[in-house]
Every structure is written in C-alpha cells, then in structure tokens.
C-alpha cells in the first residue's frame, strides 16, 4: 500500500484502535480517515488523533466541539453545504477545526457540485475556518473488476475534483479507495481501508492484497452427504455485496443465524467442526462483531476489540 502521508487509512473498514495502532507503526501513518463521530472520538481517545479526517458529513456540532476542545490533535471535517459549514463553524468556537470541501465526483451520495465548491470554501474561510482542500470519493468506481473501466471513470471523477480544487485551493486532495489506490497520481492522499482485511468483492479485482479476515463458524447440523449447517448467517455478514463464501465448500444459502452448504468434492464435516467463511463486504461484516482474534500459524496470538462500532 502507499506509505506515510500518501495514504490516509480509512478506519471504517476495521473499526479497531488496536489494529489502527498496528497499522500506524507498520505503514508510518499519522493521519486517518473516519466515517462516524464514534470513530473520531475513539481514535482520539486512543492517542491516534494526530490528524483525523471525518470524511463524512455530520450535524453533531456538540460532539465535534467536544473533540476539538479536547485538543488531542488536528481535526478536519468534510462539508458539502451551507448547513454543514454552519455545524463546523459552531464546533470551531470550542477549538481549532479545519474543513475539506467534499465534492460529488459521480457517486450519488454526499458532496457538493464541483461548481459550488469554490463558493463553499469562500463561505467557510469568511467564517474563520481553515479550508485544507477538497475530497471526492469515487465510490461508484472502486469496486468494478474491469481495471480499464476504472481508469477511465477515475479520470472523469478526478477531472471534476480538479475543477473543484482549482476553485478551493489548499494542499489536500483526498480521494480514492482500495480499488483505485494505485491509479491516483494526482490526489495527495488515498482513503483506502478495505485492503487491510479484504473481502470477496475486492478479491475479484486481482489486487495485491490477501484475505486476512475470516468468520470462523461451528457446524451445528450435518445431513448425510447432502448438506451441513454453520452457525453464522445474515447476522454475522454484511450481505450487500453478496453472500459469504464457505472455504472449499458450495454455499446453498444464508439465513439469520445459519449458513447451509454442500461439500463440493470434500468429505462431509462433522458436528462441532469449524469452517472458515469469507465476507463479500468487509466493512459491515466487521461492524457486526465485538472482537477479532489474531491468528498466527494456527495459534491465537492476540485479540483486538472492535471498539469503534456504533455511532
Ligand atoms: C468516504 C470514503 N472514502 C474511501 C472509502 C474507501 O474504502 P475502501 O478501502 O473500502 O475502498 C470509502 C468506503 O466506503 C468511503 O466511504
């Protein structure tokens, strides 16, 4: 992955300060991205708040104010409207707060129109906020397995961000994710997070990241040589990118607390056996679980709490 400041790892993908600390040491990262106020507060409380970006809009002026008042480090928030600028202005009465102008670069989600970015920057600066630059998340591009298509779409998205940045100024251009991390020769920092633990949706892109996260389930019922049932289902996996994979087995279906699978060419398992399952979408999957066990050579060597869950 990109080293140091060229990557602002997105904690939404793993929601664990222990894993963030590990990552900060390994990749020399001092700056992190968050999606929720809970993630911002948890990172700051854990001493990982040197440079935190809430890469999302918030109306929680009180909580943002508390965070800047605590003085744990540099705090930046994305804004895309007069209303979110007003929230930042209110919070900034309690301590230093910077903003990035969040620009819609093709994903129909947050972000202002590229031609409105300059106006918002003027408004924010006039109200005394530091405007560090722009952000534009091309979330409609990152997951497409066709690299050529991603390159083309990225170019369209980044042209929009460039127009916005010309109007806004500042030295931060924050964009991108796991599927586009190596296509960004123009953004100053990439906001990827899924690369760390991975999922089957991102596996299809042929990226140089191995699957690190598995849900280990227990077989609770076996039906001859036809099917077996594991005790993890819809309540253990984010399903928006598809059903989980049962390693070396043939998935039939998942329901609330169960996943039913056939045996492919392998022998039938026994009740009590364990199976490893791989999520199709890592972020919501992690958010369902309280802790991650760190396994090395088959031994559990550590336990990381998923302490940034909830809001
Ligand atoms: C604002 C924002 N930036 C970046 C990302 C990139 O994350 P990933 O590593 O999953 O591609 C996301 C993911 O949803 C996001 O919401």
What domains does the chain contain, in order, with CATH numbers? Answer: 4-195 (3.20.20.10), 215-305 (2.40.37.20)
Q: Is the pLDDT score of 256 beyond 90?
A: yes
pLDDT of residue 28: 86
Q: Is the CB of 260 under 6 A from ligand 1?
A: no
Candidates 182, 34, 157; CA nearest to 103 is 157
Q: Is the CB of 13 under 6 A from ligand 1?
A: yes
pLDDT per position as a tens digit, 75-121? 999 999 999 999 999 999 999 999 999 999 999 999 999 999 999 99
Residue 127 CA to residue 244 CA, distance in Å, equals: 48
Residue among 53, 142, 189 whose CB has most ligand 1 atoms within 8 A, to mutate: 142
pLDDT of residue 1: 74
pLDDT per position as a tens digit, 21-60? 999 988 889 899 999 999 999 999 999 999 999 999 999 9
How many other CB atoms sit within 10 Å of the CB of residue 208? 7
Residue 100 CA to residue 158 CA, distance in Å, equals: 16
Residue 160 CA to residue 157 CA, distance in Å, equals: 5
What stretch of H or E contains 287?
helix 282-287
Measured in whole angstroms, the distance separating CA 162 from the mean position of its chain's CA atoms is: 23
Q: Is the CB of 157 under 6 A from ligand 1?
A: no
How many other CB atoms sit within 10 Å of the CB of residue 128? 10
**Distances, alpha carbon 242 to alpha carbons 114, 123, 231, in Å:** 33, 42, 18
Candidates 175, 184, 181, 183; CA nearest to 194 is 181
What mean pLDDT value characterizes the chain?
Answer: 96
pLDDT per position as a tens digit, 109-159? 999 999 999 999 999 999 999 999 999 999 999 999 999 999 999 999 999
Per the listing, tokens 């590990």 go with 22
Q: Is the pLDDT score of 5 beyond 90?
A: no
Q: Is the Cβ–Cβ distance between 86 and 129 less than 8 Å?
A: no
Per the listing, tokens 């991390």 go with 181
Measure 311 CA to ligand 1 centroid, in angstroms: 17
- Residue 191 CB-density burial (10 A; 0-12 exposed, 13-18 middle, 19+ buried): buried
Taking residues 1-27, report their average pLDDT: 92
Give, as one character, the DSSP assignment of residue 225: T
| Banded model confidence at residue 240, pLDDT cuts 50, 70, 90 | very high
Q: Is the CB of 36 under 6 A from ligand 1?
A: no
- Residue 211 CB-density burial (10 A; 0-12 exposed, 13-18 middle, 19+ buried): middle
């Amino acid at each position: 992955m990109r080293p140091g400041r060229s990557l602002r790892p997105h904690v939404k993908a793993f929601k664990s300060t222990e894993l963030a600390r590990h990552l900060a040491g390994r990749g020399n990262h001092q700056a992190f991205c968050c999606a929720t106020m809970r993630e911002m507060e948890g990172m700051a409380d854990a001493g990982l708040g040197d440079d935190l970006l809430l890469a999302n809009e918030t109306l929680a002026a009180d909580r943002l104010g508390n965070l800047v008042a605590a003085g744990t480090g540099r705090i930046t928030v994305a804004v895309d409207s007069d209303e979110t600028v007003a929230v930042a202005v209110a919070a900034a009465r309690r301590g230093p707060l910077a903003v990035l102008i969040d620009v819609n670069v093709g994903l129909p989600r947050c972000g202002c129109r590229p031609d409105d970015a300059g106006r918002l920057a003027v408004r924010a600066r006039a109200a005394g906020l530091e405007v560090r630059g722009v952000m534009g998340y091309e979330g409609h591009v990152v997951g497409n397995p066709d690299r050529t298509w991603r390159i083309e779409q990225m170019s369209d998205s980044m042209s929009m961000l460039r127009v916005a940045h010309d109007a806004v100024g500042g030295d931060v251009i924050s964009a991108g994710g796991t599927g586009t991390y190596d296509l960004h020769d123009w953004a100053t920092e990439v906001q990827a997070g899924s690369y760390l633990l991975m999922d089957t949706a991102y596996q299809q892109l042929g990226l140089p990241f191995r699957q690190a996260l598995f849900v280990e389930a227990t077989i609770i019922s076996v039906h001859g040589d036809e099917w077996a049932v594991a005790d993890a289902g819809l309540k253990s996996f984010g399903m928006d990118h598809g059903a989980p994979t049962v390693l070396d087995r043939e998935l039939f279906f998942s329901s609330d607390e169960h996943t039913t699978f056939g045996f492919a060419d392998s022998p039938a398992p026994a009740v009590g056996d364990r199976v490893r399952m791989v999520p199709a979408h890592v972020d919501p999957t992690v958010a369902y679980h309280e802790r991650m066990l760190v396994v090395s050579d088959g031994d559990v060597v550590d336990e990381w709490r998923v302490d940034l869950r909830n809001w």
